């Protein structure tokens, strides 16, 4: 795959940068990619750009995100027109665009959760970071240094995404367990669930967390049904580890992907690399690189080979 995959808007937690490191663990061609925790569907877009899958199932419990993706893929000109209307309105405010941002946020929280409003909030909020309060309302603040991605710049990416996926994607907004029930042998499931420590707390970027035991049971069921999958779940930065390893009895191989220097550690005067873990199901472990003298297996993987 040449170059980075297109993206609609900056989105904190997106796996867009890591996508080139993930694709080698997938078959060159397969029937369908299933994303139960799609977010802004970075992996779906990367896989589609690479021409790997015939079809795609995009799901996220956050329905406004799914609405953005549905319009971007199936009706890109409609989404751009609606976004342009919302984005342009900020320049009509005498007291500045910050006031406009809060107006759109209030409208959104009162029920006007259109794709265009959600997209504007994402494009304009701090670090592209979705945040919801304990009352379930969007509460992230605006980035006061900019006005958000211009419709002209956004249009190029959205047109490309539509080109790769139009007529080939199914959209859902259901609990991940319902989505997994629809997966079939021949599909590849990619899961990027809420990491431990970032959900079930105030100001989280997810509507709700997931229970660890329930998630482990869901993975076990995929194994029993012979459905292959990849899971982004935990990681480390320097000596600090995030999240609990998935149980070894699931038979998964854990690979550490280099996510680059931690911006937080740089602010503290350090240069620490962040690694994000990718768990690989048994059926996909055939794509693991073979160890060499210069790059032995233990330097690539934390978990022992199954």
Residues 74-89 have pLDDT tens digits of: 999 999 999 999 999 9
- Whether 44 has a pLDDT exceeding 90, the answer reads yes
Q: What angle do CA 269, 198, 125 make, to 5 degrees?
A: 75
The mean per-residue pLDDT over the stretch 151-160 comes to: 95
The mean per-residue pLDDT over the stretch 102-125 comes to: 96
- Whether 49 has a pLDDT exceeding 80, the answer reads yes
Coil, helix or strand at residue 233:
strand
CATH number of 19-63+167-300: 3.40.50.150
Distance CA 93, CA 136 (A): 28
pLDDT of 97? 84
pLDDT band at 300; cut points 50, 70, 90: very low
For the packed helices 63-74 and 76-89, what is the interaxial angle rounded to 10 degrees?
A: 120
Which residues lie across from 240 on neighbouring strands? 237
Nearest to 1 by CA among 56, 47, 36: 47
Distance CA 291, CA 306 (A): 14
The full set of domain ranges for the chain reads: 19-63+167-300, 72-154
Assigned token pair, 21 = 């490191």
CATH architecture, domain defined by 72-154: Orthogonal Bundle (1.10)
Assigned token pair, 272 = 């620490």
pLDDT of 122? 93
The separation between the first and the last C-alpha atoms of the chain, rounded to the nearest angstrom, is 29
Mean pLDDT of the chain: 85
pLDDT band at 238; cut points 50, 70, 90: low
Q: Where are the beta strands (DSSP E) in the chain?
A: 30-35, 53-59, 169-172, 187-191, 228-237, 240-242, 253-261, 273-280
The mean per-residue pLDDT over the stretch 196-211 comes to: 49
pLDDT of 206? 43
Exposure class string for 109-131: b at 16+ Cβ within 10 A, else e: beeebbbbbbbbbbbbbeebbbb
Distance CA 260, CA 272 (A): 8
Give the max Cα distance, the chain. 66
Nearest to 205 by CA among 67, 61, 21, 55: 61
pLDDT of 10? 77
Distance CA 78, CA 63 (A): 18
- Whether 303 has a pLDDT exceeding 60, the answer reads no
The mean per-residue pLDDT over the stretch 296-301 comes to: 40
165 in Cβ contact with 48 (< 8 Å): yes
């Amino acid at each position: 795959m040449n170059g980075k995959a297109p993206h609609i808007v900056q989105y904190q937690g997106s796996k867009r940068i890591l996508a080139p490191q993930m694709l080698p663990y997938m078959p060159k061609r397969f029937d369908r990619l299933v994303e139960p925790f799609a977010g802004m569907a970075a992996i779906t877009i990367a896989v589609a750009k690479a021409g790997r899958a015939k079809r795609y199932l995009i799901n996220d419990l956050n329905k406004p995100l799914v609405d953005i993706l549905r319009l971007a893929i199936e009706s890109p000109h409609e989404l751009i027109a609606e976004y342009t209307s919302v984005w342009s309105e900020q320049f009509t405010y005498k007291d500045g665009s910050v006031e406009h941002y809060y107006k759109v946020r209030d409208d959104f929280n009162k029920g006007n959760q259109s794709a265009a409003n959600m997209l504007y909030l994402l494009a304009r909020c701090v670090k592209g970071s979705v945040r919801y309060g304990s009352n379930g309302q969007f509460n992230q603040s605006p980035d006061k240094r900019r006005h958000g991605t211009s419709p002209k710049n956004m249009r190029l990416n959205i047109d490309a995404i539509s080109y790769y996926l139009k007529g080939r994607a199914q959209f859902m907004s259901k609990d991940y367990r319902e989505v997994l029930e629809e997966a079939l042998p021949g599909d590849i499931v990619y899961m990027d669930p809420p990491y431990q420590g970032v959900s079930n707390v105030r100001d989280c970027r997810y509507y709700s967390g997931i229970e660890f035991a329930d998630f482990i049971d869901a993975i076990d069921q995929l194994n029993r049904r012979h459905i292959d999958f990849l899971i982004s779940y935990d990681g480390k930065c320097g000596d600090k580890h995030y999240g609990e390893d998935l149980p070894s009895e699931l038979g998964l191989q854990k690979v550490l992907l280099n996510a680059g220097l931690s911006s937080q550690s740089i602010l503290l005067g350090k240069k620490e690399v962040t690694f994000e873990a990718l768990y690989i199901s048994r059926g996909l472990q055939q794509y693991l690189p073979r160890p060499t003298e210069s790059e032995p297996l233990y330097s690539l993987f934390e978990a022992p080979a199954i």
